[in-house]
Structure 1
Amino acid sequence: MHKQKRIIFRADGNSRIGLGHVMRSLALAAILRKDFECIFAIQAPAIELQALIRSVCHGLINLPLCPPTEERYPHELNAYISPEEIVVLDGYTFNTTYQKSIKTKGATIVSIDDIHAYHFVADVVISHVVGLKREQFSVEKYTNFYLGAEYALLRSEFLTAASQAVEPATDSKAVFICLGGADPENHTLQVLRQCAGKAPDLKYFVVVGAANRNKHSITAFASSAALDIHLLENLNAGQMLHYMQQAATAITSASTVGYEYLCTHGILYLLQTADNQAEVYTYLLEQRIALPFTKFGENIATEEKADLIRNGSMLFDGQQAQRLLNIFKNLAHHENLRD
């Protein structure tokens, strides 16, 4: 029986830094797991996060805590990698030094990036940030690029929805709100307070992730505010899609969750909750795919709504998973030829 090639995914996530890198790496692992052995390496994951990772990947490497400032940090994977592995890096601390350490072991590197802040020695760079260009990256001559929405790291449920015909939401008065799995700055509560003044007569589906440390304040507001708020916790992809499809409107961060909502063909209002979201935020507004949250509650002409939905529906064609799988099959094929 042919042994599957191993892919080691390296990302971190918790209630302090959020779960964005982990979630999009898991989305990629879910695409690849039938054709590759997928192992996830992460520093000191919470019990709930370990369970989530194990539900997708074939194995988990529980790395000890080690700040990026420590000398041993770039070498934390050395005991686990060889020329046989593909290593996928998703995080801002996996810089040139970290990549070079992996390269000394002969492994192939795939970097998932959206800030192009340092030089890459990776064999492949994947970025689903819309609007990015190759010229913005510093790379080696051999580095291959896969940029834009065509390579969006989205879960299969949303890619399937993206490929389907545009249908009206179940509830035209429902609003879906999700500001990330951790939301350490508690933007969710800030948005809800503004919604109370902007549109108090609507129904709000509010997603609170497992890593959110602000559940108490959000719950307290929901129980006391004169708003129809439905708090939703620990939703899986299918449940997220269900509530998104019910809501004609969404308020999300300018991140993967915004991409996911666009797959359901609704009206999206964006809030930039982190510096690394600036390019996605700007592009989606400039291309008339989304609106800024500052405009939430204002009247939108029917023609403008139709334009927003049409523009958003053109962003994802549902073929992203196959394109991403082909990238890794090609890498594995070239490595087999080299061996």
Structure 2
Amino acid sequence: MKIAIRADGGLQIGMGHIMRSLVLAKELKKNNNDVFYVCKQSSLLPEKYEAGINKVKEQGFDVIIINEGDIFAELSKIQADCLITDSYDVNEEYFNIIKKYFKFTGYIDDMNLYYFNVDFIINQNIGAEEWKYKVNKGTKLLLGTDYTMLREEFRRVKDKFIDERIHNIMITVGASDFNGITNKICDYLKELHFKFHVIVGPCFTKENIYELMKLSEKNKNIELHFHADMIKIMNECDICISACGSTLYELASCGIPTIGLIVADNQKKIGEKLNQLKVIKNLGFYQKISKKKLCETIKDLDRNIEKRQEMSKKSMEIVDGKGVNRIVSYLEYINNN
């Protein structure tokens, strides 16, 4: 099947849509599907979507560039059997129009904002199976952590050994950090005795990177990681401070006790649900998190190995690593029937 994936990434919108759709794209390609991307380009700000386009090309996929001001006319020219959209730049009109251009259409969702005139919806998030979607009678709903799309290295991970005390802490807020959340966290925690492994994403601003480098030079317990090997760092760390996005599922697969920060509205339900299940300790929206609260949470986990062991065990139970295979199997089924 010839499959087009409509997604963007960049400095302001982050790389979440690109990163999770790439997991699906690679698995589809492995199963002999012809997969390519359709990405927007801005005539006013050519660098706006550059990071996303470059990442897709680096992973070996062709990219068709469309003008962000004339999306429908551009999409009508795309030759594919199936269009999968992973973007917030959509509405009901979008789904109604693209339905005319492709044999199958699907949407990767995490907000449930519209009536979806599509053939299938993928929502990989915890608790999504409880949501009431407005869809056509025949629309297939692929919902919940049975459909979580994990990168290949996170699909077969051994149980996590939980040390008596915490020594190494990972900090990650995503590929972009327009609001300087990483800088704020590091400034809060720099005086603690732990070693901090800080992930610097490809879309961090130059100003924030410069400030982080200065902070790291002054505080030897802060180590910056560029082009990070995420699974290696996760396995080396005792706990993680993470945004409540897709990275939570990778951390869960590794059994890493995690302190969650909500850095975008679409992360609220994920953070709250995983906190309710005692998989993570969710501190809420990053703007409201104080130095005292963050430090106390880390110290509490440091003193409480039983709590960390429970978090690790529960986290490894929520994902089985087969989510993307289930999605690919469904797409093969609809193509053959």
Residue segments in structure 2 that go unaligned for 5+ positions in a row: 42-46, 284-293
Could you say which residue in structure 1 is the equivalent of 2:104?
108
Could you say which residue in structure 2 is the equivalent of 1:148?
144
Aligned mates of 1:179, 1:298 — CA distance in 2: 21
Could you say which residue in structure 1 is the equivalent of 2:160?
166
**Aligned-partner SS, 2:36:** strand
Aligned mates of 2:140, 2:29 — CA distance in 1: 22
Could you say which residue in structure 2 is the equivalent of 1:251?
241
Residue correspondence of structure 1 range 65-84 to structure 2 within 5 A: 65-66=68-69, 72-81=70-79, 84=80
Residue correspondence of structure 1 range 1-339 to structure 2 within 5 A: 5-35=1-31, 36-44=33-41, 49-66=52-69, 72-81=70-79, 84-133=80-129, 135-161=131-157, 164-168=158-162, 172-197=166-191, 200-213=192-205, 214-224=208-218, 226-235=219-228, 239-293=229-283, 294=294, 296-300=297-301, 301-334=304-337
**Aligned-partner SS, 1:206:** strand
Aligned mates of 2:127, 2:188 — CA distance in 1: 30
* Displacement of 1:120: 0.2
Relative to structure 2, which stretch is displaced further, 210-219 or 308-317? 210-219
Q: Deviations over 1:276-332 (max 9, x none)?
A: 101101001000000134453232322222211111010111222321221211122
Q: Is the 8 A contact 1:175 1:205 kept in 2?
A: yes
| Percent of aligned pairs sharing the same letter | 22
Relative to structure 2, which stretch is displaced further, 172-181 or 42-51? 42-51
Q: Deviations over 1:188-237 (max 9, x none)?
A: 1111122225xx1111111111111121222222223x3511111123xx
**Aligned-partner SS, 1:166:** coil
Q: 1:48 to 1:12 in 2, by over 3 A?
A: closer
Relative to structure 2, which stretch is displaced further, 101-110 or 204-213? 101-110
Q: 1:57 to 1:144 in 2, by over 3 A?
A: farther
Q: Deviations over 1:127-166 (max 9, x none)?
A: 01111245432111111101111111221111222xx333
Amino acid at match of 1:253: A
Aligned mates of 1:179, 1:173 — CA distance in 2: 20
**Aligned-partner SS, 1:109:** strand
CA RMSD in angstroms comes to 2.0
* TM-score normalized by the length of structure 2: 0.87
Aligned mates of 1:17, 1:292 — CA distance in 2: 23
Q: Deviations over 1:81-103 (max 9, x none)?
A: 4xx51111011122221111111
* TM-score normalized by the length of structure 1: 0.87
Relative to structure 2, which stretch is displaced further, 306-315 or 55-64? 55-64
Q: Is the 8 A contact 1:206 1:232 kept in 2?
A: yes
Q: Deviations over 1:171-195 (max 9, x none)?
A: 9411111101011111111111222
Aligned mates of 1:75, 1:253 — CA distance in 2: 36
